[in-house]
Copies of this chain bind each other. A is one copy, B any other.
C-alpha cells in the first residue's frame, strides 16, 4: 500500500501517518519528492483495515499494491486449476460445452434437448428452473419440477447437469438434483448466496455481473472459495455498455486477463452476450481462439416456441453444425473436444 500526500503537506501530517502505520506493527518508508511526499507501507496491510488513512490531514490518496483476493489469485497458485463437475473436467487441455434451453419448459422439451446436445458433443446440460426476469409478469420457471426433469435427463444421457440458483431456497433445493450450480450475473454480488454456494460443496459457475470489473468478479469468486470450495469456474457473458447493436458487449479480452490474474477456468457465453443468433457462431470461435476453457450455448427444440430468450437460441441442427465448425478451433488450441 502506498500513501500519496498532498503537495506541501506539513511535516506533522506526514509524521502522523507514519506514526499510525508503525503503531499497527508495520513499517513506513518515506520518499520525499520536490512536490509530493509518498509513504510506502511494508507488512501485512490487513492490520490497517478500518484505519481510514485517507481521512488523515494531508493525505491525497491511497494506492493498493496487491490484490484483495488471495485464493483466486494466480500469484499464490501459479498452476491453472482443473475443476471437476460430475464426469466433466473443466480447464486446460479440454473444451467444455454446456448446452440446453434457457428455461426448462416441460419434460419433453428438456429430454429432447439433452439427447440432441449430447449427440452433438456437449458434456454438460444447462437449463433454468428459476428464471431471473426483469418483469414480474414474465415466465418465472418450473422450479423443483424442472430440477426433477434435469436429474432424470442427466441420468438418461450421462450428461453433467448445471442449473442457476437465484436464492438460498432455490440453492437448498437444487443441491439435491444437479451436479453444478450457476450463479447468474444479477446475483454476482449477492454475497449471502455466494457464501451458501461455497458451503454447498458443489462446483460453482460464477457469471460476471452486468457491470462488474474483473477485480470485483475475482473477489466474488473469493467469497465462494473462502468457504472451502475451490471448485469455481468463471463465465464471461457480456458487460453493459452504451452499444445497443448487441444485447451486451462480450468482453473477450477478459479471457486473457483472467488467464494472467487467476488460475480458475473461464467459460464464455456468446448466446446471452450477443442476444442474436447470427452472431453466436463467430463469437464462439473467437472465444476459443482467445483461450476460453469452454462455452455455454442456448439450444431449444423450437426457438420460436421458447418461453425465454428464443431469439438467441439455436435449433438442434444449428447446434450440431456449430459444434462441427468449432472442432478445428479446439484442435488448434490443443483442447480435447
Contact = CB atoms under 8 A, between A and B. Distances in A.
Contacts of A193: 167
B55 A191 contact: no
A242 B240 contact: yes
A213 B31 contact: no
Of the four ranges (under 10, 10 to 19, 20 to 34, 35 or more), the interface on chain A belongs to 35 or more
A278 B55 CA distance: 12
Interface in A156-182: 166-170
Nearest to A243: B213
A9 interface: no
Interface in A44-60: 44, 46, 49-52, 54-56
A282 interface: yes
Q: Is the interface of A mostly helix, strand, loop or mixed?
A: mixed
A138 interface: yes
A132 B289 contact: no
Nearest to A303: B55
Given A166-B190, A252-B283, 11 more contacts: A32-B42, A40-B40, A49-B138, A52-B304, A52-B305, A55-B311, A136-B223, A136-B226, A211-B242, A245-B261, A252-B286
Q: 9 closest A-B pairs (Cβ-Cβ)? A: A31-B40, A211-B211, A167-B192, A29-B31, A52-B310, A285-B289, A286-B290, A55-B304, A186-B189
